Chains A and B, each alone.
Chain A
């Protein structure tokens, strides 16, 4: 680490530490201003949320496989909603709503972006902390409060809402007459999501200001690591998307409690009662929601792109292919993501011309995604792979992202979507891209950055078993859903009394078995996390021989990241496979004289 001191120049004028070192338990671990702690808090919340969301999905899957049997043990946990373990149709939908909401918001938006981004981004740009540490602390606790409000819906008399994570109006707007859980439960849902939006906006604020203003000397935008680029782009997408979801939630809440009619048209008769509302538009909710909702899925996946693009060169020991093309493609995806929201609404009665207008950019957005995938394949080609667990999850990411992305081709064409919309084909598609690919990004990031976060190495044997069983498990669970969809098997059904869906039970049972197997495999990950945290072998500063700044400081870093030294950057993040004093790579903080003499043979 003597190279760090070799690159010190003068300290910038009047730059005191952004915040003092923590001096109490509360300051250290609870209301911490340190981005590293806040990142770990977000990851902890994501872990809690994913365990909750997975548990809900096991109940759903068990019920789908054995619709006439009660689910073991559930009667004890939920005696009012599932007496004797019997899953009523409404309880199924309530589980499904909470599963989707928890997974999309509290796992896929927090962990890859707020979790890893908070921990790693300031380190990677050479800053002491995020630009606004107090807003950062607030953003985590606001998000935590949002989670608590959401979970509270399980404890109100009528239970959580049953309108899905998409909460379409008027089902979600007219109040409890439309179904169980649509009273207080739905209101709690709306309030939770509104609070979540505020937390995300505070987070985006920090990411953007830190990336633009707090980069260390020599860290030009072009030299930023690809994961920093990805978090930066994600924060911009999030800024715009969540700024639209918040108004949507405000208007929905007003419809529910203040008697307004933003989303409720006239003349509705719900539960034999003529609704007093008039003139609202149910489609307006869909437009506002999906204007947020589609960019949201890119918020879930773009950090994964960044994580893969950071890890792959390190494990392939050669530079990433086409880094400028990579960034340009991510920017293109970010821009196009705002033009495609109508592809969720092809069947909503919009004019055929509008459908075409949405279908075209939806297909076009696959081009930059395909190029990025090809860049990864090109990076792997002709490399000398170090096969550790982080590498495996990156390779797995490529495989599952291809699978999930390709199934999108069918859904992006309205004439085919006419048949496949609302079927298990859609469920298979979004689980592959979000529930699998984005999760693989989270796993890859965990195995890669755990040593830096906790100063200990994770166990490689457990990691490889985790990967192997998970990789097989996800294909076994989610690939058959496409076949169910081709048969016309409808989603969001608690069981299948229709004649033509009777034959699907065998496939559903297979999926349930695979899903439970997949869930069990995650225990290996949990054990590995806990064991390594407590007893893992000490981690060196740079266990992966990687180039970016976080690896130039200690594992874990000191509270101000670089021990009072302000790093000076002389290289980009892509200097792998070059002969140097270190071997086959040059770190970003190495002196300029350590230029690449030649390619490593």
Chain B
């Protein structure tokens, strides 16, 4: 049986909380749509779909980085030269991940700018309200995820032993969840908003 891993447990608990809160927002949106006769559907700016691809890509690159770090037993078989090469590789993919994640946030910002230019603001219509609330909160959680990625990076630079690999594993779970959450939100937005 795998030894207990508080970091993993912790991240799944946190994900549980985030799921519940977005469930609350989703049900609020469904109720709201039911009570108002004037629900104006918003045409989603296409950049949102590109952003989804960017976020999913960042999950892929994060996994590529993690593979190159390897586990504690992988590294036993590596010579110093191989170790150095792998180290450069994982750091490369990690940086790509960070760039993509910032790119996602920038893309979201452009989506908001686009909607604002079309007259859709937070308070202009119920659908607008929910669009901004859902996307802004997701972006906030992504920002937190970027912070977690940077924290994990710091741990890995300080000591790339099993503890840091463990931390990265937990952060990776959260990061992949962020991508999955965005895909879910995109579906909800496309269908309802």
A291 to B21, CA, bound (A): 12
Contact bitstring A447-485, B, C-beta under 8 A = 1, else 0? 000000000000000000000000000000000000000
Structural contact, B28 and A288, CB atoms closer than 8 A: yes
User: Is A591 located at the chain interface by the 8 A CB criterion?
Assistant: no
Contact bitstring A224-253, B, C-beta under 8 A = 1, else 0? 000000000000000110111011101100
User: Is A33 located at the chain interface by the 8 A CB criterion?
Assistant: no
Residues of chain B with a CB closer than 8 A to A259's CB: 122-123
Report B82-133 residues with CB < 8 Å from chain A CB.
122-123, 126, 129, 133
Structural contact, A132 and B6, CB atoms closer than 8 A: yes
Residues of chain A with a CB closer than 8 A to B20's CB: 239-240, 243-244
User: Is A254 located at the chain interface by the 8 A CB criterion?
Assistant: yes
Q: A208-216, A369-377, A553-561, A567-575: which one contacts chain B?
A: A208-216
If A212-B9, A281-B31 touch, does A247 touch B25 (CB 8 Å cutoff)?
A: yes
User: Is B147 located at the chain interface by the 8 A CB criterion?
Assistant: no
Residues of chain A with a CB closer than 8 A to B18's CB: 243
Structural contact, B13 and A279, CB atoms closer than 8 A: no
Structural contact, B5 and A243, CB atoms closer than 8 A: no
Residues of chain A with a CB closer than 8 A to B10's CB: 131-132, 205, 209
User: Is A280 located at the chain interface by the 8 A CB criterion?
Assistant: yes
Structural contact, B32 and A284, CB atoms closer than 8 A: yes
Structural contact, B16 and A213, CB atoms closer than 8 A: no
User: Is B24 located at the chain interface by the 8 A CB criterion?
Assistant: yes
A242 to B13, CA, bound (A): 13
Structural contact, A247 and B13, CB atoms closer than 8 A: no
Report B145-179 residues with CB < 8 Å from chain A CB.
162
User: Is A562 located at the chain interface by the 8 A CB criterion?
Assistant: no
If A205-B10, A259-B122 touch, does A246 touch B32 (CB 8 Å cutoff)?
A: no
Residues of chain B with a CB closer than 8 A to A254's CB: 122, 129, 133
Structural contact, A239 and B28, CB atoms closer than 8 A: no
Structural contact, A213 and B9, CB atoms closer than 8 A: yes
If A208-B9, A254-B129, A287-B31 touch, does A243 touch B17 (CB 8 Å cutoff)?
A: yes
B9, B24, B35: the one contacting A243 at CB < 8 Å is: B24
A210 to B24, CA, bound (A): 27
User: Is B36 located at the chain interface by the 8 A CB criterion?
Assistant: yes
* Beta-carbon nearest neighbor of B5 in chain A: A213
Residues of chain B with a CB closer than 8 A to A248's CB: 24
A278 to B122, CA, bound (A): 14
If A214-B4, A239-B20 touch, does A250 touch B133 (CB 8 Å cutoff)?
A: yes
Contact bitstring A291-332, B, C-beta under 8 A = 1, else 0? 100000000000000000000000000000000000000000
A14 to B162, CA, bound (A): 10
User: Is A353 located at the chain interface by the 8 A CB criterion?
Assistant: no
B4 CB to closest chain A CB, in angstroms?
3
Q: Which of B21, B23, B122 has the most CB of A within 10 A?
A: B21
A212 to B3, CA, bound (A): 11
B91 CB to closest chain A CB, in angstroms?
25
B42 CB to closest chain A CB, in angstroms?
15
Residues of chain A with a CB closer than 8 A to B5's CB: 213
A204 to B24, CA, bound (A): 19
B17, B32, B126, B133: the one contacting A201 at CB < 8 Å is: B17
Residues of chain B with a CB closer than 8 A to A14's CB: 162
If A243-B21, A262-B129 touch, does A281 touch B122 (CB 8 Å cutoff)?
A: no
Size category, B interface: 20 to 34
Structural contact, A278 and B9, CB atoms closer than 8 A: no
Contact bitstring B61-97, A, C-beta under 8 A = 1, else 0? 0000000000000000000000000000000000000
Residues of chain A with a CB closer than 8 A to B19's CB: 243
A201 to B15, CA, bound (A): 11
Structural contact, A239 and B16, CB atoms closer than 8 A: yes
Residues of chain A with a CB closer than 8 A to B38's CB: 278-279
* Beta-carbon nearest neighbor of A207 in chain B: B13
A12 CB to closest chain B CB, in angstroms?
8
A334 CB to closest chain B CB, in angstroms?
14
User: Is B14 located at the chain interface by the 8 A CB criterion?
Assistant: yes
* Beta-carbon nearest neighbor of A248 in chain B: B24
* Beta-carbon nearest neighbor of A130 in chain B: B6
Residues of chain B with a CB closer than 8 A to A213's CB: 4-6, 9
A209 to B12, CA, bound (A): 10
User: Is A187 located at the chain interface by the 8 A CB criterion?
Assistant: no
User: Is A258 located at the chain interface by the 8 A CB criterion?
Assistant: yes
A207 CB to closest chain B CB, in angstroms?
9
Residues of chain A with a CB closer than 8 A to B36's CB: 278-280
User: Is A260 located at the chain interface by the 8 A CB criterion?
Assistant: yes
A212 to B5, CA, bound (A): 9
Structural contact, A244 and B24, CB atoms closer than 8 A: yes
Structural contact, A247 and B123, CB atoms closer than 8 A: no
Structural contact, B129 and A214, CB atoms closer than 8 A: no
Structural contact, B6 and A262, CB atoms closer than 8 A: no
Residues of chain A with a CB closer than 8 A to B137's CB: 250
Residues of chain B with a CB closer than 8 A to A201's CB: 14, 17
A205, A242, A262: the one contacting B32 at CB < 8 Å is: A262
Residues of chain B with a CB closer than 8 A to A260's CB: 122-123, 129
A148 CB to closest chain B CB, in angstroms?
23
Residues of chain B with a CB closer than 8 A to A280's CB: 32, 35-36, 126
User: Is A261 located at the chain interface by the 8 A CB criterion?
Assistant: yes
If A205-B14, A247-B25, A251-B133 touch, does A281 touch B32 (CB 8 Å cutoff)?
A: yes
A505 CB to closest chain B CB, in angstroms?
43
* Beta-carbon nearest neighbor of B124 in chain A: A259
* Beta-carbon nearest neighbor of B29 in chain A: A262
A279 to B33, CA, bound (A): 9
A244 to B21, CA, bound (A): 5
Structural contact, B16 and A284, CB atoms closer than 8 A: no
A593 CB to closest chain B CB, in angstroms?
27
* Beta-carbon nearest neighbor of A206 in chain B: B10
A224 CB to closest chain B CB, in angstroms?
14
Structural contact, A204 and B6, CB atoms closer than 8 A: no
Residues of chain A with a CB closer than 8 A to B133's CB: 250-251, 254
Residues of chain B with a CB closer than 8 A to A284's CB: 28, 31-32, 35
Residues of chain A with a CB closer than 8 A to B17's CB: 201, 204-205, 239-240, 242-243
Structural contact, A212 and B126, CB atoms closer than 8 A: no
B63 CB to closest chain A CB, in angstroms?
24
Structural contact, A247 and B24, CB atoms closer than 8 A: yes
Structural contact, B126 and A279, CB atoms closer than 8 A: yes
Query: Which 5 A-B pairs give the minimum distances between C-beta atoms?
Result: A279-B36, A213-B4, A259-B123, A243-B20, A131-B6
Please, could you name 22 A-B residue pairs with CB atoms under 8 Å apart, sorted by A? A132-B10, A201-B14, A205-B17, A208-B9, A208-B13, A212-B9, A213-B5, A239-B20, A243-B17, A243-B18, A244-B20, A246-B21, A247-B24, A250-B133, A251-B25, A251-B28, A251-B133, A254-B129, A279-B36, A280-B35, A280-B126, A281-B35
Given A205-B10, A251-B28, A280-B126, 16 additional A-B pairs, CB 8 A: A205-B14, A209-B6, A209-B9, A209-B10, A209-B13, A239-B13, A239-B16, A243-B19, A243-B21, A250-B137, A254-B129, A262-B32, A262-B126, A279-B32, A279-B35, A280-B35
